[in-house]
Amino acid sequence: MAESGKRRFGLDRKESWWEDPLPDAHNRGGPGGPRWPIMSVVFLLPFLLPVTRSLLAEPAITPGLVLMAVVVYAYGACYAVFPYFFRRELRVKLAFGIVMNLLGLASLTLATGSAFVLLYGTAVLVFLVPAAWSVMIDLATLAAGAAILLAKGQFLDGYGDLITVFSITLAMFFMGNLVRAIRRLERANEEIATLAVANERERLARDLHDLLGHSLTTITVKAGLARRVLESAGDIPRAVEEIREVENLTRSALSDVRATVSANREVSLSAELVGARAALRAAEIDADLPHAVDNVRPEFQPTFGYVLREAVTNVLRHSGAKRVRVRLGDSWLEIEDDGTATGVVAGNGLRGLSERLAAVGGTLRTSVRAGGGLLVRAEIPETPPSEPSPATPAVRAEPAGGLA
């Protein structure tokens, strides 16, 4: 029962956004630093000086005077050390705030008839505990102060001071919540900046993987072809042609890297088809590719260009295929090979493609063909969902039995 009660009222929680204290003075020079106890004396002088003067004027020390001195100076000490409770648990701060306000009420009863003494405790509560708790405790404190003045017969003389204390506390309440709102905005801006950096790093990593993986694979294949031509047939003109294409590919890759880093690179599906045809021809893989991309919606072509590039790169690297077939639709793309793959391994490339497709509401599916090889299908709905899933969908592997 005790634990459930703590959870109900939030007494077991750590700091949350609406419990944030003022800026930490250990880092920013505000309340809570080593200078605050000294500065607090300045604010306490209007309260402590008259009480100390009246204590020193008494001819004899009595238990009542000792009690009054203990209450008054304990109240002042609470005000001097309250910033050090900012980072404590909520129940500790609540206990401190309640004790401080009780000491304020005791000071009002024993030492002074001015309700201004309550301001120290009510102001502390505004900055120390959540808004709901500070409202409840401060209102209870002011009500108790009114009752004390009424019992002492000083209510008519002191109700104006109570109203003033209430007004100042209310102003501090709004100021404290403004400070909390500013702190939340600062943290939100920091998180946004961190996320922006992380997203940019992910974009660069994904683009460079897609770009360099395909370019280097094609360069490797063409360089190998040139070597084999020279070793087997000695066909120097053809070897020179292949080496010239390697040189052009290298220049193109360097240009693409610069454009990727500057976020100015655009992918063309038609250009990727031309590059795929050349790369597959160099690898001596029979390529059944479309000759045009007019039937693909223009807004989907850059995304499908990335899919085609990565799929062809995987065929060249891993499949051992002899034939590749590519089919295009207005909102879908299929790449099928007759390689030796018997399972789907979702590596960085496929994960990157699934992220690209998820950004436009699409999906990436891979399945194993009955006779071996893979079928990769990318599809983007013509009307993307209005509320895309917050999580990036994983690459889905379908059972054997895809398109033959």
Q: In what order do the strands lie in the sheet with 374-379?
A: 286-288, 323-328, 332-337, 374-379, 363-368, 396-398
Same domain, 170 and 312: no
List 335's β-bridge partners, or say none: 326, 376
Q: Which residues, including other chains, have CB under 8 Å from residue 277's CB and lie 6 or more apart?
A: 287, 289
pLDDT at 80 (0 to 100): 86
Percent of the chain surpassing pLDDT 90: 5
pLDDT at 211 (0 to 100): 65
Say whether pLDDT at 266 is over 60: yes
Percent of the chain surpassing pLDDT 70: 77
Rounded-to-5 percentages of helix, strand, coil across the chain: 65, 5, 25
Q: Which residue did the predictor score with more confidence, 212 or 160?
A: 160
Angle between the N-to-C axes of helices 301-314 and 155-232, in degrees from 0 to 180, rounded to the nearest 10? 50
Same domain, 33 and 150: yes
Tell me, yes or no, whether 331 lies in a domain.
yes
How far is residue 120's CA from residue 165's CA, in Å, rounded to a whole number? 9
Say whether pLDDT at 286 is over 70: yes
**Type of residue found at 223:** A
pLDDT at 140 (0 to 100): 92
Q: Which residue did the predictor score with more confidence, 216 or 285?
A: 285
Q: How many other β-carbons are positioned within 10 Å of the β-carbon of residue 363?
A: 16
Tokens at 255, concatenated: 């240009």
Say whether pLDDT at 323 is over 50: yes
**Type of residue found at 119:** L
Q: What is the pTM of this model?
A: 0.46
102 band by pLDDT with thresholds 50, 70 and 90: very high
Tokens at 165, concatenated: 């204390």
Same domain, 168 and 299: no
Element (H, E) at 364: strand 363-368
pLDDT at 387 (0 to 100): 45
End residue of a domain, out of 146, 166, 191: 191
Mean predicted confidence (pLDDT) in 297-318: 84
Structural domains counted in the chain: 2
3-state SS class at 322:
coil
Mean predicted confidence (pLDDT) in 312-329: 84
Q: Which residue did the predictor score with more confidence, 402 or 343?
A: 343
Say whether pLDDT at 145 is over 80: yes
Residue 79 gets the label, from left (phi > 0), alpha (psi -120 to 50) or beta, of alpha
pLDDT at 395 (0 to 100): 44
Say whether pLDDT at 2 is over 50: no
Tell me, yes or no, whether 143 lies in a domain.
yes
Same domain, 41 and 157: yes
Same domain, 317 and 172: no
CB 237 within 8 A of CB 299: no
Q: Which residue did the predictor score with more confidence, 299 or 57?
A: 299
Tell me, yes or no, whether 217 lies in a domain.
no
Tell me, yes or no, whether 344 lies in a domain.
yes
Angle between the N-to-C axes of helices 155-232 and 131-151, in degrees from 0 to 180, rounded to the nearest 10? 170
Considering 184-188, 192-196, 247-251, 253-257, the range whose residues carry the highest mean pLDDT is: 184-188
Tell me, yes or no, whether 318 lies in a domain.
yes
End residue of a domain, out of 166, 191, 216: 191
Tell me, yes or no, whether 313 lies in a domain.
yes
How far is residue 220's CA from residue 317's CA, in Å, rounded to a whole number? 10
Q: Which residues, including other chains, have CB under 8 Å from residue 290's CB and lie 6 or more apart?
A: 273, 326, 327, 328
End residue of a domain, out of 191, 213, 235: 191
Same domain, 293 and 176: no
At 355, which CATH number? 3.30.565.10
Say whether pLDDT at 334 is over 80: yes
Say whether pLDDT at 232 is over 70: yes
Q: Which residue did the predictor score with more confidence, 296 or 3?
A: 296
The pairing of strands 286-288 and 323-328 is parallel
Tokens at 194, concatenated: 């961190």
Segments forming the whole domain that contains residue 171: 2-191
State the chain's mean pLDDT as an integer.
76
Same domain, 6 and 123: yes
Same domain, 187 and 289: no
Burial group, residue 169, by CB count within 10 angstroms (0-12, 13-18, 19+): buried
Same domain, 42 and 180: yes
